Chains A and B, each alone.
Chain A
Amino acid sequence: KQEVTQIPAALSVPEGENLVLNCSFTDSAIYNLQWFRQDPGKGLTSLLLIQSSQREQTSGRLNASLDKSSGRSTLYIAASQPGDSATYLCAVPGGGNKLTFGTGTQLKVEL
C-alpha cells in the first residue's frame, strides 16, 4: 500500500526567501507525482505534474524534482511571496488514477 509523507508539516518564512518542501513515497512504481496547492476554504489547484520519466518540472517560480529510486520529490519555491501562503500537497496515482495524498505542508510567508 502506497504511503506518502510530507515534511515539514508547517513552515513560516520571511518574504523573499527560497524554500524547499519535501515529499516521500514508499512504492517507487509510480506513473507520476503531482503537487497541489490548497487555499483555506477552497479546493485543490494543480501546480506541477512530473511524469515518472522526468527528473524536473518548472512553472514560474516553482520547480519540482523527482527521484523515483529514493522515493522522494521536492518542491522548490523561489523568492517567496505572501501570496504563496497556502497548504501544499503532493500526490501519487494508483490504478485508475486514484490519488494517494500526503498530509501537506502549511506554508506562511510573512512580510
Chain B
Amino acid sequence: EAGVAQSPRYKIIEKRQSVAFWCNPISGHATLYWYQQILGQGPKLLIQFQNNGVVDDSQLPKDRFSAERLKGVDSTLKIQPAKLEDSAVYLCASTLMAGNTDTQYFGPGTRLTVL
C-alpha cells in the first residue's frame, strides 16, 4: 500500500515570496491533516479536512496561509507572502476517518527555508 506522498521535499525561498506544497493521502482516506513542525518542536496542527470540507482551520494563519482539498483527494497548502518564521517542516497526514482511535499516517514532509 502506497503511503502519504508529499512534494517538494525541500524548498528555499526569499521572504515575501509565495510557495505551495502538495500532498497525496493514502487511497481511500477521508481525513487529511496539515501540521507545521518548527525545528526543536513537535508538530502543530494547521488544518484538518474531511473529504473536501474544512473541519478545523482555527490554527491556520489565514492572512498568509491557505489550503484546499479539491475533489476530496489531493491537497495543497500555500503561503503568500512567506515570513522568516515560516521556516519549518510541513507534514501531511491522513487517516481513514476522524475517529479518535484511528492511526494517522504521515508523509515525509516538506522542509521550507525562508531567507
Cβ proximity bits B100-111 to A, threshold 8 Å, 1 near / 0 not: 111111111101
User: Chain B: which residue is nearest A32 at the CB level?
Assistant: B101
The total of Cβ contacts below 8 Å across the A-B interface reads: 66
In whole angstroms, how far apart are the Cα atoms of A93 and B43 in the complex? Answer: 13
Structural contact, A42 and B108, CB atoms closer than 8 A: yes
Residues of B within 8 A of A49 (CB): 101, 103
Number of interface residues, chain A, beta carbon within 8 A: 25
Known: A51-B101, A103-B42. 11 other contacts (CB 8 A): A32-B101, A42-B108, A43-B4, A43-B109, A44-B106, A46-B104, A96-B98, A98-B45, A99-B45, A101-B42, A101-B43
User: Measuring CB to CB, which residues of chain B are less than 8 angstroms from any residue of chain A?
Assistant: 4, 6, 31, 33, 35, 40-45, 48, 50, 55-56, 91, 93, 95, 98-109, 111
